[in-house]
Amino acid sequence: MKGAILGLTHPHSGILLATLENLPEVTSVCLWDPDPQVAARPQFPGARKVSMTTADLDAVLAQPDLSFAVVCVRNDLAAALTHRVVAAGKHLLAEKPAGITSAEIVGLQNVAAKAGVVASVLYTRRAHPCVVEARRLVQSGALGPLQTLESRFLTTQVKFRDPDSWLFKRSQAGGGLLLWLGSHCLDLLHHITGDEITEVGALLATRSGESIDVEDSAVLALKFSSGAIGTFHGGYTLAYSGAGYVNHAGYDSYLGINGREGRVVWPDLEPRLLVESPPGPARFPVREQSFDVRSSTSYGGASGEDFFRQFLTSLEGKVHPPTTLADAVRTARVVEAAEESSRNGRFVRVSRD
């Protein structure tokens, strides 16, 4: 199967190429960037599967054996590029957020549906074994009716992430921390529980001391369709965890879901869950579940490869895709409600079709 990576200067371009290199299902990769100088000298030493590197998008999309394209460009350029991909009849993996507004992503949904292509957004954490098991527990009813949900995601400070990057310019990124990192957490709160976020109260702030015009800190209070309530706390706050965008030491993460009959906690990004639920066959209501996850250089590690495999298998119609653009729309609407809430100092209902 042949794929393409569209955009070679995105913070994830290198690790996305590594992922395709690691997947035996992918036999050939085309690389494209709009800047001819970047396309002429891509900074990916050791790539074995690259068959084309070009600044000519038409040449990439015209290939009849090209199955899919991974779009990883600046957020304000993503929608137009994605339209080109789906109009060419190629399946799509879009870096989150997929567009800078929910309306923009809805437009992509419509175009992809008319073209009959699979269109997914890269929420790779859905495939992590901790997420898979937490979802199974919650949706089986093992925790009983949900009461509260908690998500925290802190990472390295803006000064370690190139403050001059487009990621910290609202006109190019469309938003800040919530779109870039909070989107993963907001997606998991829905994916694990099946519960929709219906109302948001938010405080967004820019506290890094750097010259940026997007939020670098966020605290959200959330109401869900079931009546459960929750929180999200995120920020570029860590001062002593190194630099870079692929830095596993640079995260402080927590996810907890509490029900009347028990709870499940993913206390960090390690492959373990803390579970409290009624005794099953093992007769241990309070337990730690650990998962054997092999090391991998892929985006999201070995579970990221599982995400990509599900996507590739979905192209053959054998399984559902791991995500759809509807998931990106849902998250974008929560982010938009949070931004409105922070501006106006009141709770805001999340928009629905």
What's the CA gap between 234 and 176, in Å, rounded?
11
Q: What integer pLDDT is reported at residue 280 of this predicted model?
A: 64
Q: What integer pLDDT is reported at residue 283 of this predicted model?
A: 67
Cβ neighbours of 273 (radius 10 Å): 21
Of all residues in the chain, what percent carry a pLDDT higher than 90?
90
Asked if residue 42 has pLDDT above 90, the reply is no
Domain ranges (residues) in the chain: 2-121, 125-294+323-344
Spacing of C-alpha 115 from chain mean position: 24
Residue pLDDT, tens place only, 72-128: 999 999 999 999 999 999 999 999 999 999 999 999 999 999 999 999 999 999 999
What's the CA gap between 335 and 99, in Å, rounded?
12
> What would the mean pLDDT of 285-313 be, rounded to a whole number?
94
CATH of domain 125-294+323-344: 3.30.360.10
CA angle 196, 215, 185 (to 5 degrees): 30
Residue pLDDT, tens place only, 4-36: 999 999 999 999 999 999 999 999 999 999 999
What's the CA gap between 67 and 134, in Å, rounded?
33
pLDDT category at 249 given cuts 50, 70, 90 is confident
**Number of residues that this document lists for the chain:** 353
Q: The pTM is what?
A: 0.95
Of 129, 118, 22, give the one whose Cα is nearest residue 70.
118
The answer to whether the CB of 254 falls within 8 A of the CB of 265 is yes
Topology of domain 2-121, CATH = Rossmann fold (3.40.50)
Q: What integer pLDDT is reported at residue 43 of this predicted model?
A: 79
Of all residues in the chain, what percent carry a pLDDT higher than 70?
99
Q: Are strands 348-349 and 197-205 parallel, antiparallel or unpaired?
A: antiparallel
What's the CA gap between 300 and 306, in Å, rounded?
9
